[in-house]
Structure 1
Amino acid sequence: MRPETTIAPRLLTEQPARHPSPTVKASSLAYLIFERPDLKKAVRYLEDFGLHASQCDGDILYLRGTGTAPYCYRVHRAEKQRFVGFGLTLNSLDDLHKLARLPGASGIEPAQGPGAGQRVRLTDPSGFCVEAVYGQTPADEWPHRPALVVNQPHRTPRINNTQRPPAAPPEVIRLGHVVLEVADYQATCAWYTGHFGLIPSDVQVFADGSPAVAFLRLDLGDMPADHHTLALAQGIMPAYSHSAYEVVDADAVGMGQRVLRERGWVHAWGIGRHILGSQIFDYWQDPWGDKHEHYCDGDLFTADQPVGLHSISAQAMAQWGQRMPKSFTRPRMSLAVLRAVFHHLRHSPDLTLRKLITLARLFG
């Protein structure tokens, strides 16, 4: 049974909501796109995290997990560090043509990197790049250790055998989800539900009923989909929050913490279990402060699962484990950030001073 939480007193505004006839329905989260000034430093962190560098084309680095995705992480060499966007996989060439007709779309062009295929590049209302991809050739799946067999009080399958998971970076199997902060919430959320068919699994709301965080999943019909592939949080400006990578079990999450700590990387939050999505999680920062999550045991929903509504609170972040530290959501303050805050308070229809105060009180 899913945990009960208090529902805010008013109904949601227009978004998030299922779109009755989206342009297409995305089938998977393909990859993330970053820009970094130092590819060697980037790959050192990501390989310690559990990804594998699979190809380097000059100033572009591709990394993969053990699954069949040709790559799940693309890094471009650039003067400054930046999260650029992500790729979504489509089911047909016809879907690609539909997106190519949207205003501002790039038109159909060859896709970059391992797996090839074709793509259309779009920009969402918050300025993030979205590459819609069709026809990638799947990679060969790499072996990974099976989940450990666990003894329980009345079920003890492991007799005369010990638990010795390898003391090595955990094997990332696949990219699971990405979480973004946006100022123009309604337009951005409507863009993803309307053009890619994403549907809300759970929504955290402010006291006035407007959305604070929406966990959006793929519409795969009767096939179970991750609780969320994309989550959108009301923020002070467009920003990358974190991305999440599935590992085989809780021991892999724990071993990841040990290895990353021993190799000197910066811990962000965990280990714990989320309430919405149920994942056992652990978060780490890359050399530029961007958060990456190891997780296992996440919820899976079919398309007919109704949306859950919950009041936003710091206590709603985890069932157990360390409380979410203030530093987890606190922005890295700079003159540019302050200018962005004032700009969006004046011009965004969704960001208000009351919401800003609420976010600062809960998470600042």
Structure 2
Amino acid sequence: MSAPPTPLPVRHPHPTVKAQALAYVMFERPDLGLTERFLSDFGLRVAARTGDTLFLRGTGPAPFCYVAFPGDRPRFAGLGLNLGSREDLRKLATLPGASSIEPVSWPGGGERVRLTDPSGFTVHAVFGAAEAEVLPHRAPVRFNFSEERPRINDTQRPPVSPPEIIRLGHVVLEVADYQATADWYTRHFGFIPSDIQVLPDGSPAVSFMRLDLGDRPTDHHTLALAQATLPTYSHSAYEVVDTDAVGIGQRVLRDQGWKHAWGVGRHILGSQIFDYWYDPYGDKHEHYTDGDLFTSDVTTGVHPVHREAMSQWGPPMPRRFTQPHLTLSAVLRTLHHLRHSPDLSVRKLLTLARLFG
């Protein structure tokens, strides 16, 4: 008898807190110099070096959005979420396994609570960090359309240089224990499923989840969770000023010898114009622009998942884009999750392999 389908994520009526923003992503890296070189070509700027930790930022007010620690092996180390009040910190500090409220010595300061989600990812809940000075960036180019032609006696000459990243937009995680992980983020941080792609049995394959900011528009997704055979990082996404920045970013990164992953294209769910690149350790980083913005009253959409559902136009998603790194450790962990995860089965694994392998 096959296992019943995994229930779809839903918004929680009374979440513990409502996260206000994605603050940062954290990585361990064997070579911080190589990491800095890629991220500088990608468009991030060094915000600070504290001891042996590297902090990078965009041009927006966030003091940093990317943290790199030294480590013997490359590893995604977790993410940070900004909260709206110190009372929110106090509430999260009462959850099982949470740390106490502790001061933050990183750029911007503030306080945080450290938690671990059901898939084992570290989550920092942060409040009180001071904003940084906004850095200048070029204005978006003006387009001449068939019905509207604002650019007269002027040309388009954006500079060929690393694209100016404005901010960190979203992070996508792959998980084996899907239901528990999705429930944790909706229950404790107030995430709202914007769109869910489902497998043929009705189980969720990918859930794109946004922040609950009430009437204030927010990104179509700040966090996305994808059903997989083991928990791992999929990619993080960084907003640039316009489509020319996406295209020029591709040219600059190609010229510098970095490895392209997928793009340029436009997503269907979220609508972003995207381009993905591998960092020196094989982790995907996305440039994007022109994403959808939703308020909290928009209901959840449900759609069948398939490879062609990932973009409206652009090159097809390469099969290597979703293929896991086949190491002995990954195989052993997959076998463990097949035995113990309520959301994973051999049939589901074969379905995922057929759709994305």
Matched, 1:246 2:222: no
SS of aligned partner of 2:63: coil
SS of aligned partner of 1:320: coil
Matched, 1:277 2:263: no
Mapped partners of 1:287, 1:225: distance in 2: 31
Q: What does the per-residue CA deviation read over 1:119-152, in whole Å, with 9 as the maximum and x for residues that have no partner?
A: 0000000000000000000011111111100001
Mapped partners of 2:171, 2:47: distance in 1: 21
Question: 1:112: Cα distance to partner?
Answer: 3.5
Matched, 1:320 2:313: yes
Matched, 1:171 2:170: no
Residue 5 of structure 1 is matched in structure 2 by none
1:94 counterpart letter in structure 2: E
Residue 156 of structure 1 is matched in structure 2 by 149
Residue 352 of structure 1 is matched in structure 2 by 345
1:189 counterpart letter in structure 2: A
Q: What does the per-residue CA deviation read over 1:273-319, in whole Å, with 9 as the maximum and x for residues that have no partner?
A: 00000000000000000000000000000000000000010010000
Mapped partners of 1:353, 1:273: distance in 2: 33
Residue 299 of structure 2 is matched in structure 1 by 306
Where in structure 1 are there 5+ consecutive unaligned residues?
A: 1-10
CA contact 1:204–1:211 (8 Å) conserved in 2: yes
Residue 7 of structure 1 is matched in structure 2 by none
CA contact 1:277–1:298 (8 Å) conserved in 2: yes
Q: Measured at CA, do residues 217 and 173 of structure 1 come closer, stay the same or move farther in structure 2, by a change above 3 Å?
A: same
Question: 1:332: Cα distance to partner?
Answer: 1.1
Residue 47 of structure 2 is matched in structure 1 by 54
Q: How does 1:246-265 map to 2 (within 5 A)?
A: 246-265=239-258
Matched, 1:76 2:76: no
Residue 180 of structure 2 is matched in structure 1 by 187
Mapped partners of 1:137, 1:57: distance in 2: 17
Mapped partners of 2:278, 2:207: distance in 1: 23
Mapped partners of 1:80, 1:325: distance in 2: 26
Comparing 295-304 with 206-215, greater Cα deviation is found at 206-215
Where in structure 1 do 4 or more consecutive aligned residues deviate above 2 Å? 11-15
Where in structure 2 are there 5+ consecutive unaligned residues?
A: none
Mapped partners of 2:324, 2:302: distance in 1: 26
Residue 26 of structure 1 is matched in structure 2 by 19
Comparing 292-301 with 104-113, greater Cα deviation is found at 104-113
CA contact 1:15–1:190 (8 Å) conserved in 2: no
Mapped partners of 2:106, 2:37: distance in 1: 20
SS of aligned partner of 2:171: strand
Question: 1:15: Cα distance to partner?
Answer: 3.7
CA contact 2:7–2:204 (8 Å) conserved in 1: no
Percent identical pairs in the alignment equals 65
Q: How does 1:200-279 map to 2 (within 5 A)?
A: 200-279=193-272
Matched, 1:363 2:356: yes
Question: 1:91: Cα distance to partner?
Answer: 0.2
Question: 1:12: Cα distance to partner?
Answer: 7.7
Query: Aligned pair count?
Result: 354
SS of aligned partner of 1:149: coil
Question: TM-score scaled by structure 1?
Answer: 0.96
Mapped partners of 2:165, 2:5: distance in 1: 36
Matched, 1:343 2:331: no
Residue 3 of structure 1 is matched in structure 2 by none
Mapped partners of 2:243, 2:105: distance in 1: 34
Matched, 1:287 2:280: yes
Mapped partners of 1:106, 1:41: distance in 2: 33
Residue 4 of structure 1 is matched in structure 2 by none
SS of aligned partner of 2:165: coil
Mapped partners of 1:285, 1:277: distance in 2: 21
CA contact 2:89–2:127 (8 Å) conserved in 1: yes
Residue 6 of structure 1 is matched in structure 2 by none
